[in-house]
Amino acid sequence: MQYLWMIVAGVCGGIIGGMGMGGGTLLIPILTILLGWSQLAAQTTNLVAFLPMALVSIVIHTKHKLVDFKALLWVTLPALATTCVASFVAPKLEGDLLQKMFGWFIAVVGVVMLGKTIFDWIKSKSNKTKMPPKSKSKSIF
């Protein structure tokens, strides 16, 4: 039964992650709040689980020609440097502190992203009444 909930948690995180929306920000709170895992265990699991999932997703996205490799280099190279430092520090921090920091992180990012999503949504709706939709993402709504 315990394993069933773990799989359900994984599938939820995976769907969001496969869409490139940051599945970890969903998977980690599910694991810690609902299943009672420690923050560090949830983070480690999220990192490791992401690897095979991302590989499959990247292959599919590359086939659909959705991956822009020039943009990829610009973002990956600087980020690699800071990731090394931060992931060296994280396991040494106290669990409670790490969880609080993570809480602030997802709360702030959540508020900003929610605001941006709603703002874009309203903007694209008001545009739609004036002119025909141009891009694919606008035509969904």
Considering only residues 13 through 32, tell me which ones interact with other proteins, judged by CB under 8 A. Answer: 13-32
Handedness of CA 25, 17, 35, 49 (dihedral sign): negative
CB of 16 to other proteins, least distance (A): 6
User: Is residue 1 involved in binding other proteins (CB under 8 A)?
Assistant: no
The answer to whether residues 50 and 28 touch, using CB atoms and an 8 Å cutoff, is: no
Of positions 67, 123, 133, 139, contacts other proteins by CB under 8 A: 67
Give helix then strand counts, H and E, for the chain: 6, 0
Contact 9, 35 (CB under 8 A): yes
Residue among 3, 89, 79 nearest 40 (CA): 89
Whose tokens are 């999220």? That residue is 46
Amino acid at position 90, single letter: A
Positions 89 through 128 that interact with other proteins (CB under 8 A) = 89-92, 96, 98-111, 113-114, 116-118, 120-121
Nearer to other proteins, 36 or 130 (CB): 36
Measured from the CB atom, the residue of 121 and 129 that comes closer to other proteins is 121
> Which residue, 7 or 131, is less far from other proteins as judged by CB?
7
Interface residue with other proteins among 1, 36, 81, 126 (CB under 8 A) is 81
131 binds other proteins (CB under 8 A): no
89 or 133, CB closer to other proteins?
Answer: 89
Asked if 60 is part of the footprint of other proteins (rule: CB under 8 A), the reply reads yes
Nearest to 89 by CA among 14, 128, 97: 97
